[in-house]
Amino acid sequence: MKNMMIGVDLAKNVFQVHGALRTGEVQFRKKLTRKQFPAFMAQQKPGMVIFEACGSAHFWAREVEAYGHQVKLIAPQYVRPFVKRQKNDAADAEAIVIAARQPEMRFVDPKTVEQQSCAAVFRGRERLVHQRTADVNALRALLYEHGYVFPVGMSHLNRMTALVEDETVNLHALIRAECLDLLVQIAEKTARIIERTTKLKTLATQSDRARRLQTMPGVGPLTAIAVEAFGPDMAQFKTGRDFAAWLGLVPKQHSSGGKERLGRMTKAGQADIRRLLIIGAMSRLNWLGQRTIVEGSWLSRMLTRKPKMLVAIALANKMARQIWAMLTKNEDYRDPAMAVVA
C-alpha cells in the first residue's frame, strides 16, 4: 500500500511499530521483538518506513529497503515536538509518523556500509588521539607534582621522555616506573594512530570524491574522508549556503520585531567536518599559509580588519560552500583569485 506510513521506534530488543495512512488513519500498533521485526516488515506491502536517526538506524534502513520499502530517517529533535503527553515507545512511534507527514520535514539519508566503515576507522583514530592526549596530560601532571614543569602540547613529549629516562634526575623509583608505563602506553597509541592515519589516507586515494576535495587548499585526506563518511548527499541542499548552515558555520539568530541579532556559530550539524574545516582554514592563515594569499583578495582584505579566528570561521564557511559546488558539479577546485575576469 503506497500511502502507508510505518513509524518504527528502535531499541536493542523490542521495537514499537505504528502504521497509519498518509491521511492520518491508524492501521495498527504493534510491539515486536528483534527477531519478529524483519519477518513482519517482509510481509508488509511496499510503503514508507520511517526511523529516528539513532543507533542501528542505518543498518535497519538497508535491511528494510531490501524488502521494497522506501526508507527515511528523521533527526530526533524534529520528532520530539510531536510526542503527546506521555513519553513511551508507542507515543514515539506515532510521533515519528506525524513528523514524517509534515510537508517541509528534513530527512537524513541512510548511510551505505562503505560510509559506515570509513566512519568507524575515523572514529577509532579520534578515540586513540583522545586517549593519548589523556596519557600525556597524566604524565605532565605526575611530573609537575614532583617539581618538573612542562608546557602543554605533544611537542614537549621528547623533553619529558628524556627527563624520565635520565637516571641522574631525582625521581622516586615508583614514580619513575609509573612515568615509564605511561610512556609505553603513549608510544603504543601513537603507533596505532599512525596505522589508522595511513589507512584513511589510502581510502582517500581510492575515492574520486575524496581526491577531488583534496584539490582545495586546506582540505587534506582526513577532511576529505570525513566529508565522504559523514556528509549527506549534496543534492539535498539547494545552495552551498544551505550546506554551510547544516554544518553550523553560520551565526546564531535571535531576531525579533524586525531587528536582526546575530550571535556566535550555531554549531549545528556534523561536528567532525566543521572542526576539520576550521583547522584547515587556520592552516591557510598561519605564517606559511599567508604567503600563498593573493594581495587584494577577499581573504587578504578580511585579515587586515578582522580577528584571525573570525576570519578562519568565515573561510571555513566559504570552503563548505565551495565543497558543495565541487561535489554537485563534479569539478576540481578553481581558485577564484586566479580567475581571469573578462
**What's the pLDDT tens digit per position in 31-57?**
999 999 999 999 999 999 999 999 899
Q: What dotted CATH number matches 4-100?
A: 3.30.420.10
Q: Is the confidence at residue 63, as pLDDT, over 90?
A: yes
Q: H/E/C letters for each residue in the chain? A: CCCEEEEEECCCCEEEEEEEECCCCEEEEEEEECCHHHHHHHHCCCCEEEEECCCCHHHHHHHHHCCCCEEEEECHHHHHHHCCCCCCHHHHHHHHHHHHCCCCCCCECCCCHHHHHHHHHHHHHHHHHHHHHHHHHHHHHHHHCCCCCCCCCHHHHHHHHHHHHCCCCCCCHHHHHHHHHHHHHHHHHHHHHHHHHHHHHHHHHHCHHHHHHCCCCCCCHHHHHHHHHHCCCHHHCCCHHHHHHHCCCCEEECCECCECCEEEECCCCCHHHHHHHHHHHHHHHCCCHHHHCCCCCHHHHHHHHCCHHHHHHHHHHHHHHHHHHHHHHCCCCCCHHHCCCC
**pLDDT, tens digit, 9 for 90 and up, residues 179-213:** 999 999 999 999 999 999 999 999 999 999 999 99
What is the structure's pLDDT at 149? Answer: 95
pLDDT band at residue 295 using 50, 70 and 90 as cut-offs? confident
What does the domain layout of the chain look like in residue ranges?
4-100, 113-206, 214-338
pLDDT by residue (tens digit) across 146-158?
999 999 999 999 9
Percent of the chain with pLDDT strictly greater than 70: 96
Which pLDDT score is estimated for 341?
42
